Structure 1
Amino acid sequence: MRYLKNRKGFTLIEMMIVLVIISVLLLIAVPNLGKNQEMARSKGCEATIDLVSAQMIAYEIEKGQKVTDLSVLKPDYVDTLQCPDGTGLKLSNGKIVKDES
């Protein structure tokens, strides 16, 4: 019995306090992660549009003709004509936009 009294360790109350603190931190952190993912998807699409626009200009300089269909950029100028969220891109009035249809 004497051995059990001298043992150092956490009590049940201390463990419960730690679990409550961790739970509160998770409740604060998880909703913020969702917001950040949506912003990252949006920024990823903007970056893809900027990249395809730059490659379209490179095509026009190299070939000496305007791009009328984005498919001419694949595979030599771009690998994909989609945003990271799967939304396609299209050419509208000489600018690249998301294909919302």
Structure 2
Amino acid sequence: MKKEQGFTLIEMMIVLLVISVLLIITVPNITKHNSNINTKGCQAYIKMVEAQVQAFQIDKKRLPASIDELKTEGYLRDGSASCPGGNNISISATGEVTSEGSP
């Protein structure tokens, strides 16, 4: 009979220990930067909406009344009027795009 070789219990425990240490190091770093990621995502979304407001203004010769008008006219495909962090976005009468709690 042939002798089948595999991993021993000690080898498997060492591998699990290494994986656990890597997870313990990386997970807190990811969660620590979560608010920074949401802020950057919100800033990028605001810039994109500002560009769509300008495109709307060039096409229609007026400013949009709201985010909903941008959606209905096909300038925004996204179904939400909020940032990745959950802050709502609004358009002022002058065409400035702002977010609740934006820096």
Q: Normalising by the residue count of structure 2, what TM-score does the alignment of the two structures yield? A: 0.69
Question: Which structure: larger Rg?
Answer: 1
Aligned residues: 96
**1:96 corresponds to:** 97
Residue from 38, 42, 60 that aligns with 1:41: 38
1:35-81 CA-partner distances (Å, limit 9, x unpaired): 45443322222221111101111111111123454433222122342
Matched, 1:25 2:27: no
Q: Normalising by the residue count of structure 1, what TM-score does the alignment of the two structures yield? A: 0.70
Q: Which structure has greater helix proportion? A: 1
Q: How many Å separate the matches in 1 of 2:71 and 2:11? A: 61
Percent identity over the alignment is 42
Could you tell me which runs of 5 or more consecutive residues in structure 1 were left unpaired when the two chains were aligned. Answer: none
**1:78 corresponds to:** 76
Cα root mean square deviation, aligned? 2.6
